[in-house]
Amino acid sequence: MAASQEVSAARRELFALLENADTVNEFFAHIADDVQWTLHGHHPLAGQYHSRAELIPATIGQVLPLLSGGLRFHIKALHGDGPVSVVEMQGVGVALDGVPYDPFYVWVCQFDPRGDTIITVDAYIDSLVVTDILHRLAPR
């Protein structure tokens, strides 16, 4: 994972949870229950989500059943250690039909004053890759 010098080990460890399919859920435990998450783009999952309980099934919950072996993220870069961190990631997964699922993501994450819980996110994703897997494999 590339990281600027000002990113703490704790912040790097938090985002590193995304790099293993077995610990992705552990990462999402660090999202506030009342998170304000905006998923930008022109794809079926784009929109504003006002809680973790709303976010997970409406986004990752729509994609995970279409993948074999789960989803993990390769962290390309992590910037910022204060109230805001920006993470650049590549999705790593394989669709049920064998096609790679590898969208690029950028998340702008705002943390609570203690710095351990994410309270707002502006998320950007490769809209074409998301739309493609949903149109190809999601039940209609």
Quick one: CA dihedral 55, 60, 63, 66, positive or negative? negative
Domain-by-domain residue ranges, the chain? 2-137
Can you tell me the distance from the alpha carbon of 84 to that of 73, in angstroms, rounded to the nearest whole number? Answer: 20
Which tens digit of pLDDT belongs to each residue from 83-114?
999 999 999 999 999 999 999 999 999 999 99
Entry pTM: 0.93
18 in Cβ contact with 76 (< 8 Å)? no
86 in Cβ contact with 106 (< 8 Å)? yes
Tokens representing residue 106 in the block: 């950028």
The domain 2-137: what is its CATH number? 3.10.450.50
Which tens digit of pLDDT belongs to each residue from 40-73?
999 999 999 999 999 999 999 999 999 999 999 9
115 secondary structure, DSSP code: S
pLDDT of 6 above 80: no
